[in-house]
A = this chain, B = another copy of it.
Amino acid sequence: MNIVLGHTQYGKAETHVVRVFRDHEPHEIVDYVVSVAVTGDFTDVHLTGDNARCLTTDAMKNTVNAYAKEAGDAVRQPESFAAALARHFVADVPQVERARIQIDATPWDRLPSGGQPHPHAFSKRGSYVRTVTVTDDGTTAHVVSGVRDLVVLKTTDSEFHGFYEERYTTLAPTTDRIMATSVTAQWLHTDTDVDWGKSHDRVLATLSGTFAGHHSFALQQTLHAMGDAIITEQPEIAEVRFSLPNKHHFLVDLSPFGVENHQEVFHADDRPYGYIEGTVRRDDAPDPGPDAFDPGQGW
Binary flags per residue of A28-40, CB closer than 8 Å to B gives 1, else 0: 0101010101000
- Give the most central of A49, A120, A263: most B CB within 10 Å: A49
* CB-based contact B279/A27 at 8 Å: no
Segment among A76-84, A124-132, A191-199 that sits at the interface with chain B: A124-132
Give A20 to B262 CA distance when docked, in angstroms.
10
Give A1 to B277 CA distance when docked, in angstroms.
23
| Nearest-Cβ distance from residue A283 to partner chain B, whole angstroms | 5
* CB-based contact A169/B58 at 8 Å: yes
B18, B55, B126: the one within 8 Å of A166 (CB)? B55
* CB-based contact A299/B295 at 8 Å: yes
B12, B14, B21, B257: the one within 8 Å of A66 (CB)? B257
B69, B163, B232: the one within 8 Å of A52 (CB)? B163
3 closest pairs, A vs B, by CB?
A49-B217, A6-B279, A121-B212
Give A11 to B219 CA distance when docked, in angstroms.
12
Can you identify 30 A-B contacts, CB atoms within 8 angstroms?
A3-B282, A3-B283, A5-B224, A5-B278, A9-B277, A11-B275, A13-B275, A14-B271, A14-B272, A14-B273, A18-B268, A20-B266, A46-B220, A51-B160, A52-B162, A52-B164, A54-B163, A54-B218, A55-B169, A56-B163, A62-B168, A69-B254, A93-B164, A112-B212, A120-B157, A123-B151, A124-B151, A125-B126, A126-B126, A126-B151
- Give the most central of A17, A235, A257: most B CB within 10 Å: A257
| Nearest-Cβ distance from residue A240 to partner chain B, whole angstroms | 9
Give A185 to B218 CA distance when docked, in angstroms.
36
Give A294 to B202 CA distance when docked, in angstroms.
33
* CB-based contact B252/A65 at 8 Å: yes
A10 proximity list for chain B (CB < 8 A)? 220, 274-278
Chain A interface size range: 35 or more
Give A290 to B7 CA distance when docked, in angstroms.
13
| Nearest-Cβ distance from residue A233 to partner chain B, whole angstroms | 11
- Give the most central of A9, A46, A239: most B CB within 10 Å: A46
| Nearest-Cβ distance from residue A130 to partner chain B, whole angstroms | 13
A101 proximity list for chain B (CB < 8 A)? none
* CB-based contact A55/B163 at 8 Å: yes
A218 proximity list for chain B (CB < 8 A)? 45-46, 49, 51, 54
* CB-based contact B55/A164 at 8 Å: yes
**Residue on B with the closest CB to A278?**
B8
* CB-based contact B58/A171 at 8 Å: yes
| Nearest-Cβ distance from residue A208 to partner chain B, whole angstroms | 5
* CB-based contact A221/B156 at 8 Å: no
Give A195 to B155 CA distance when docked, in angstroms.
26
